[in-house]
Amino acid sequence: MKSKFSVTFLGTGTSQGIPVIGSDHPVCKSNDPKDKRLRVSVLLSWDNFNYVIDCGPDFRQQMLRENVSRVDGILLTHEHSDHTAGLDDIRPFNFIQGIMPFYAHKRVFDDLRERFAYIFTTVNKYPGAPNIETIEIDKSTVFTIGGKEVISIEAMHNTLPVLGFRIGDFTYLTDVKTISDAELEKVKGTKVLVVNALREEPHYSHFNISEALEFVEKVKPEKTYFTHISHMMGFHADVEKKLPKNVHLAFDTLTIEI
Ligand SMILES: [Zn+2]
Ligand SMILES: [Zn+2]
C-alpha cells in the first residue's frame, strides 16, 4: 500500500509511439529502453487508490507492465485515439470491480459514443462490453477523486480544447499548443509539472521544445517532465544533456513521488 502520491509514466510517446512501425530513424532503432515510448498516459497512486490519465491503445500493455490490479477511475484529456483507443481493455477491471468511472468533457463523451457505440448502447448491449460511468467535467470543474481535489485546466490543442489536471502540487498537461492567461494562473505554484514537448521543429497543435521551455519559465515549477515525445526529438540521453537542470524528458516506467 502506497501512502505517498506517486506518478508513474505509463507512456511518454506521441501518437504513433516509438519505435514507429516501419521506421529506419536512428531513434526508432535505438537499444536504449528510454527511447522506447508507448502512447502517453500516467498512473496516479496514493493510499490504496489508482487513477489513470488517458486510455490509449497501449493501455493493456501498460496495466500488465505495472502490475495494476485495480483502477478507481480514468481521466480523459481529450478524444484523440492515442488517448482513448484502449477503452475496450478496461473490461478486466469491470469484471473485477464493476463499473469504471470516467471523467471527461461532454464533447469527449459525445465523440466516444459515436466511435464506441457498442459500449454506450442501451439496446441489446453485449454483456461482456465495457461498462463506463460518465462523469462530465469542464474547465471550471473542481472534483474529488480518492479524497483529493482535482482542478481542471483548459488548454488549446490547435483549435481543440483539451483538459489538464492539477492535484495539489502536481499538474499534468498534454497536447497543448496554447493556454490562456486565466488558465495559466491555475497552473502557477505547482511544484511538479508534466507537459508535452514534441520535438525541436514547430508543430501546429503541440508545443515544441522551445515553446514548452517558455511555458516552464512562466509556471516556474521546481521540477518539470516533458512527455508526448516524437522520435524526431532525438535520443533521450542527448536531449537530457541539453535541458535546464530542473527539466527532464520523462521516460516510460519512470515513477516520481510528490
Ligand atoms: Zn496526443
Ligand atoms: Zn491530441
Residue type, 22: G
Residues in the chain, pLDDT under 50: 1-2
Distance from Cα 120 to the centre of ligand 2, integer Å: 22
Look up the pTM and report it. Answer: 0.97
Distance from Cα 87 to the centre of ligand 2, integer Å: 16
Distance from Cα 11 to the centre of ligand 1, integer Å: 11
- pLDDT of 156-172, one tens digit each? 999 999 999 999 999 99
Four-residue CA torsion sign, 160, 255, 202, 199 = negative
Distance from Cα 175 to the centre of ligand 2, integer Å: 5
Topology (CATH level 3) of domain 5-257? Metallo-beta-lactamase; Chain A (3.60.15)
- Is beta strand 148-157 parallel, antiparallel or unpaired with respect to 160-167? antiparallel
For the chain, domain boundaries: 5-257
Residue type, 229: I
Q: How far apart are CA 107 and CA 105, in angstroms?
A: 5
- pLDDT of 96-109, one tens digit each? 999 999 999 999 99
Ligand of minimum distance to the alpha carbon of 196: 1
pLDDT at 3: 64
Ligand of minimum distance to the alpha carbon of 57: 1
Which residue(s) pair with 143 in the sheet?
150
Distance from Cα 3 to the centre of ligand 2, integer Å: 32
